[in-house]
Structure 1
Amino acid sequence: MPVRNVENFTDAVLCLASASPRRRELLASIGVTTTVMPANIDETPKAGEAPDAYVVRLAHAKALAVAPHTELPVLGSDTAVVVDDTILGKPCDEAEACAMLTRLSGRRHRVVTGVAVSGPEGVLSCCVSTWVSMRAIGHDEMRAYWATGEPADKAGGYAIQGLAAVFIDHIEGSHSAVVGLPLYETAALLARQGVALWHR
């Protein structure tokens, strides 16, 4: 069951099944006004589940959990940081955050984002992969980064749009997907569900 509405705007054209302020900001950047109704679902990966299948499954589950509670189209999304075919979740403490950054330091990893939009056309979905290369990160830097508070609620223990931008060497693919929502692909799904962009 979804939790109560966080915010409810009468001019909203889309319901966002996520409490992520980053996803809401990304949608606002393309003129999509949202009401927020986070979905409360089990996000535990299944045994042997591929990262791409995992994020799409969660995106679908979020959209479908909220859809019965609103007349608006609903967008669900999930992002995972993947290294050596292992999904890195959100770190629970400094030690885990540093362990994650140690695995990512000085190498390339993949960020996968699944998006699902429920609406008149049923549930439409996509999955976008982006390769991210990080420079080598010293342990003292990792600890200082944790102390900022930024990594605590971020998949993989970092935020590309935040203070961790200084760790990023380059990316191959969608920057917005790493932040939390691939805008090019999302706009296409929204158009198929009749959601107008640049809404005023």
Structure 2
Amino acid sequence: MKLVLASNSPRRRQLLTDMGLPYKIRLREVDEDFPAHLRRAEVAEYLAAHKAAAYAPDLAQDELVITADTIVCLENDVLNKPADRAEATAMLTRLQGRAHDVFTGVCLLAGDGRQVVFSDQTTVHFRALSPAEIGYYIDTCQPYDKAGSYGAQDWLGMAAITRLEGSYFNVMGLPTHRVWAELEALGALPGNAQLR
């Protein structure tokens, strides 16, 4: 099948490329609101499926769209992308010195109607950070497009993450091991990627 990545994230694009999966990009605006009663992994899965539904009418029979959404959760609070510097500062101040969970929901929707929705969880441990370190990160990395106001691959991830329980790539925005396994189960890996 022909893979379509419905994401503007350079990290997701790089991960699929590094996995050796050929794909094309297809983008459209989809709102990222979710029902208030959803919690943690449910939010990520809901958003991934919601995004995929927007692409369904235009999928060819031999296409499969990959959509994903990554959220950061501190206990039951969902920390989305910060609106401004003040919100980014508040989020990082809450996260510093604590563990939090990162969930990435993924939807694989094929043009023939088959659909798989799943999520992966990684627990991230941050060391304590000073206000100066938080300010430096925000000023130099501008993390306004990142859930929880940080990227694991950025300076803050290298300087602050002390331990991960789960997939590092999940924190970057795509649980690559699960994506590969689910594509394989659907028979949707490109011919040159069929290794078994």
Q: Same fold (TM over 0.5)?
A: yes
1:56 and 2:45 correspond: yes
Equivalent residue for 1:69, pick from 58, 63, 70: 58
Unpaired segments of 5 or more residues in structure 1? 1-11
Residues 119-130 of structure 1 correspond to what in structure 2 (within 5 A)? 119=110, 120=112, 122-130=114-122
Give the aligned partner of residue 168 of structure 2. 175
Q: For each residue in 1:13-44, what CA deviation from the matched residue of structure 2 results, as whole angstroms up to 9, or x when unmatched?
A: 31011111111111111111111112422212
Match 1:139 to one of 107, 131, 140? 131
What is the CA deviation profile of residues 106-157 of structure 1, one whole-angstrom value per residue up to 9, with x for unaligned ones? 0100000111101146111111110000000110111111111331211000
Aligned residues: 188
SS at match of 2:108: strand
SS in 1 for 2:78: strand
TM-score, length-normalised on structure 1?
0.88
TM-score, normalised to structure 2's length? Answer: 0.90
The equivalent of 2:11 in structure 1 is: 22
Paired residue for 2:81? 90
Q: Aligned residues: percent identity?
A: 38
CA contact (8 A) 1:79 1:155 kept: yes
Task: Give RMSD over aligned pairs.
Answer: 1.6
Deviant stretches of 4+, over 3 Å: none
List runs of 5+ in structure 2 lacking aligned partners. Answer: none
2:118 maps to amino acid: C
1:109 paired with 2:132, answer no
CA contact (8 A) 1:111 1:132 kept: yes
Using the alignment, how far apart are the partners of 2:27 and 2:74 within structure 1? 27
Matched, 1:154 2:146: yes
Q: What letter corresponds to residue 183 of structure 1 in structure 2? A: T
Encode CA deviations 1:27-85: one digit per residue, 9 max, x unaligned: 11111111111242221231221121111111111122113223210011100000021
